[in-house]
Amino acid sequence: MHSHLGPFLFALAFLLGLPVLAAAAELPKVGDLAKDFRLPAQDGTTVELSKLRGEWVVLYFYPKDMTPGCTVEAHNFSKDQAQYAARNAVVLGVSVDGIDSHKKFCAQEGINFRLLADTDKRVADAYGSLRNFLVAKVAARHTFLIDPHGKIARVFADVKPATHSREVLAALDDLGARPRPDVAGMK
C-alpha cells in the first residue's frame, strides 16, 4: 500500500462510520514478567530486553514514524532524556516501521533515544499492542514501565502524546525511581 493512502483511507473509514481500529490481545498486567525480545534499533544495535535488567525501562509502542502525535510524543521523551537518566531509566520506542524509517525520523526530528523496528509485529502482539488499522497492522499507543527486576510495574493504555513523558516520569517517582542528584546536573 502506498504511504500517502493511509490518511485518505482513515478519513474515508471514519466518514463511513467503519471501525478503524480492531482490538489486539490482552495487555500484560502489573506484576507480570516482561516478555523478553531482541529487536534492531536505528543506531545499528540490537536491543535485548533481558540485558537491561538493573535499569527501569520505558517501553513505549507508537503507531507510525513522522506522524503528528508520534512526533510530539518522541520530542517530549527526547527533551526529558536527562530526567530519565537521572532515574536510571532507558526509553525505548517501538513501532512496526523499519530501520530506515526510524533513522529518517530520528535524523529529521532530533530523536535522541533508540527506536526499535518490530517489522514482524511479534513484540507488539506479545504486549497486546498490535492493532488492525484498516488494511494494515500498527502498534497501539501503549507504554509499559518495567522495573529493574524485569517485571511490569505500570501499564499506560490511554496515552496522550503531549503529556505522556511527564506522566511516565511521575510514575517512575511514585514507584521509587527517585532522581539522583549526581546525574544530569540535578541538585
Q: How far out from the chain centre does Cα 11 lie?
A: 25
Q: Is 106 a catalytic residue?
A: no
| CA 129 from centroid of its chain's CA atoms | 10
Work out the number of other CB atoms within 10 angstroms of the CB of residue 51. Answer: 11
Q: Closest Cα partner for 169 from 187, 135, 145, 136? A: 145
Question: Tell me, what DSSP letter sits at residue 51?
Answer: G
Q: Say how far apart CA 172 and CA 82 lie, in whole Å.
A: 14
CA–CA distance from 79 to each of 44, 82, 98, 131 (Å)? 22, 8, 24, 28
**149 and 33 Cβ atoms separated by less than 8 Å:** no
Q: Which of 34, 41, 70, 177 is catalytic?
A: 70
Residue showing cell 532530533? 110
Q: Of 142, 135, 134, whose CA–CA distance to 118 is shortest?
A: 142
As annotated, the active-site residues are 70
